[in-house]
Structure 1
Amino acid sequence: RYAYAVTRQADGALTVQGAVVLRSDQGERLTGDDKAASIIQARYDASAAAQDVAARFSFQGYGNGVEYGASKLRSLVERHDGNVRDDRGQIVGDEKLAGDLVQKEWRGDLHSRKGRDVMHLIMSARAGTNVEAFENAARDFLAEQFAGHRYVFAMHDPANDPKEEGEGGKRPHVHAHAIITMRSESGDRIETTPQVFREWRATMAQMARAQGIAMEMTDRREFASPPAFTRNQVRPVSREGRTEHVGTSEAAQGRYDAQRGGRRILAKAERSREYAIKATQSWEKIALASGDRRVVAYAEQQRDHLTASLSAGQTEASVNVVHADFGSKFRANLVTLQKAVLEGPEMRETTRAEFEAYEKKVETALFRLERSVGPVER
């Protein structure tokens, strides 16, 4: 399984870039490194084609799973304006087709036949949290929760991040990444269920409070918050400041808009509904018992949100989704343009060179948006 794009260089040479599934139908699996490149090079050099055309092979990177494959193929399609073909010679003309190809046709060859050996866990806190205190809390949490497992973790402090905002760096919130073995030295395997995740969050909040950080484990049902979107439901289109995404489908876009817009959504399960009723009663008790006006106002606001959501749940509430061509780059280009023109405080004091660079950035964004907008949308 593969897809590729061909570019002719100024000297007449051809460059072929592509994405390939490393596992073949015969069961052979390449490693995607220099060793694998040398194997492919040797096979080509021994073929009849090498007598007529000289070629060099190299891998630029490799990864695992459907999400990684779809991301790389979408990037290939975007870089080559849709001039990409798959192993059957079919055109992969836009990012939707790229995602469908990987998710529907390549999926079986991309999934590992074994359970994963390690887990990637991210712990985060709000912007402005003391970095040293949070690092100590993360260390205590890992030691408490994953005793007997091997793990490593690293802190990401925005102040010391070598990546710029446009590259996905300098995130405003402090966070830590941990890589943990799924099986302990005694053979016990980590469970990953919603209930276990809740326990982890409660333990992390407890460790944070012990370090002087005001952190509580909350449940979205207590606030009628919308469900989170997953990484395979959206793709990033801008990493400057807060990362902006577009959905990979209309349903995914609806979930993303609900989450980012703070829309109130009550979980539909009967158990969740019962939980929300108890949460409403708890907010009412807090409002009655507290003597702080701000606490009373906040508790009443949350109580009213839940009450309204419970009432709306009696009639099947429908989520408003954005109807758009998600195979096109229209939404991605629109977000890029918005980022460019809504400059905020950055434009208060600008040198001539900086302004010219900004002007070029806006012109490029307008050009790309114009190319992606159809006659009806204009």
Structure 2
Amino acid sequence: MREIDGVLRDWGEVASKGVVKAKKGRNIAGGAYVKPASKRNISATAARQKLIATVRKAPEVMVKISGGGKDMRSIKAHMDYISRNGEVEIEDEQGRIHQGKEEVRDVRDDWKGAGIPYENGKRREAFNIVLSMPPGTDRTAVKDAARAFASELFSNHQYVFAAHDDEKHPHVHLAVKAVDLDGVRLNPRKADLQHWRETFAEKLREQGIEANATPRQLRGVVKKADKQAVRHINKEHGKGRRKEPARVTESQRKAVELEAKTGRKHINPAQDNISARRKQVQHDFGTVARALVAGGREDQQLALEIVQFIKQMPPVKTRHMEQVEALQRTTDQGGKGIERGQVKTKAQEQQGQNRDTGPER
């Protein structure tokens, strides 16, 4: 039993922290990077719960930074957006509710100071964060979890948040002032984002909502969704409002067509790392499964579920590889190939379900 607990704790550390290490940087003028708060010494019980949630494919939370204002003008514009010009209530860090254009303007005015210019700012003065869950999740629970999330992580910052009910995915927009009350500037890294996901999932579970926050590699996901700016440009192009799709999309299209027509393989420098990560993930799962086999009936059942989970992992294919295969199939069937801005496969259409961070194409 002690051996099983040790293996579970080791796996839980990897599952909670992910494969990305925090890089040192500066978030205080003249000061050093402050590591994100982390859960130390994850218990075997917590690791087991995360393992069960992972292999049984519990809903994954989505936490992303969608942008941020560099001056009061852009901060005001974002507050107008999340409040739907005052029609949707926004809540601040003190639990005060604001609704209506005048009250939103008052909140904006309360953020003034700390050297934030009215316009033409040079650095990010606010972080716009989106917290989301899959369709069908209780919207009140998502909002309550977001409130607890913000209170724990940004207790020394000014912030406001608003829940939107106009899309299938229940989601909350959170705007956080970059400089806290002590003058420390928020400077989130990938490790911080994973910690944010873990915290949001925890707050959802406290609301009785099944939620998980694992690194995508742990779930066998190779790719991530396009950046928001790229999606926006391509969407505008699809509606005829832009002459060209995003540059990265156009570049991908050309590379796909070149390989499909000539057979000349596109070299992806990250391919070896992607394959190595998959092998490591499978090895770690295998280690846990072998340890559980020596336990009781429930442990043995969980070991079988782990084996099935590994078998069901999608193949290690990059977005480029999938697009080449899709184009070749279309060509074999007499199709015309890929139109500009339309390099999309079935797997990509399902990418909205990928609620993690970090690109690998």
Coarse TM-score class (shorter-chain normalised): 0.3 to 0.5
Relative CO higher for 1 or 2, CA cutoff 8 Å, sep ≥ 6? 2
Q: TM-score, with normalisation over the residues of structure 1?
A: 0.41
Q: TM-score, with normalisation over the residues of structure 2?
A: 0.43
Please say which structure displays the higher CA radius of gyration: 1
